[in-house]
Amino acid sequence: MNPLSDFALTLMTNDLVLAHAADRAGVDRVGIDIERIGKQARQGHLKTWISHHEEADLIGLGENVSPTRLFARCNPIHANSRDEIDRLIGLGVHTLMLPYFKTTQHAEQFISLVDGRAHPVLLLETSEAADILDEICKISGVREIHIGLNDMRLSLGWPSHFHVLASAWIEPLCNRILDAGHRLGIGGLARMGDQSLPVATDLVAARIAGLGASAALISRAFYRDIEPSAMDVEIASLRNWIGHATVQPREWHVDINTQLQREIENFSPS
């Protein structure tokens, strides 16, 4: 793998200017998040963002990003999942992510409903799903599993998503996904050198790379204080750091995670 070009970055937005800039900057997947079912109940008390994107946003996005980059995160499996997935794929979605599943059956149902028409991504963000990860990895058609840190920390009852990322607990999960031959995604990434964040972005990105991930989301903090025209420079900077981190020896990554754990000690989660 070439870490500079093969690390898949995903931006969820319905802002057409930002989407176009991300596409030009080489962001691999650009699209919407329509997950609603259960999310307010789980995360409404936190400062995490809950999307107000609509399926119709894909029409404008499709005119501003490359066809193979169009992305959507759908709802968890529900009574109308078939119709929802059919609509999203009909609107040109090339990569489709299933959030918040707890059973092998729901993962299998998602893969079956996609039916090879889009690239499926399973968002592993519950302790129940983590407990049956080996079964999930064996499902025919699974190609990519992304560990979602926000809901996973709630599921585990841990203080913050940073604690999940820096933990020893996450390491065997990553290894099992990789050993099964699937692409591993983890969490989200902010802009390099952003001093306004509670934990250093370079440590987070290096930890994600060190765990063997080759995919991540782009956080809202990434583009919060920059013009869309700066996306190409900022994305290149992020990719360069990931490329550097990917080829470092194990001892370097152990030191990175030790630094990350020290920063987390001073972090006060909301």
Give residue-wise pLDDT tens across range 173-224. Answer: 999 999 999 999 999 999 999 989 999 999 999 999 999 999 999 999 999 9
How far is residue 194's CA from residue 204's CA, in Å, rounded to a whole number?
A: 12
Instruction: Find out whether 166 and 186 touch, Cβ atoms under 8 Å.
Output: no
Of 121, 135, 126, 144, nearest in space to 212 by CA: 144
How far is residue 132's CA from residue 71's CA, in Å, rounded to a whole number?
A: 26
Q: Tell me the per-residue pLDDT of 163-184, one tens digit each, with 9 for 90 and over.
A: 999 999 999 999 999 999 999 9
- Write b or e for each residue in 160-194: b if 16 or more Cβ atoms lie within 10 A of its Cβ, otherwise e: bbbbbbbeeebeebbebbbebebbbbbbbbbbbeb
Instruction: Find out whether 103 and 76 touch, Cβ atoms under 8 Å.
Output: no
CATH code, 8-265: 3.20.20.60
Per-residue pLDDT at 3 exceeds 90: no
Query: How many CB atoms are located within 10 Å of the residue 5 CB?
Result: 11
What's the average model confidence in pLDDT over 56-61? Answer: 97
Residue 25 corresponds to which tokens in the numbers above? 């900057």
What's the average model confidence in pLDDT over 159-165? Answer: 96
Instruction: Find out whether 210 and 171 touch, Cβ atoms under 8 Å.
Output: no
For residue 53, give Cα distances in angstroms to 3, 23, 73: 31, 19, 10
pLDDT of residue 52: 87
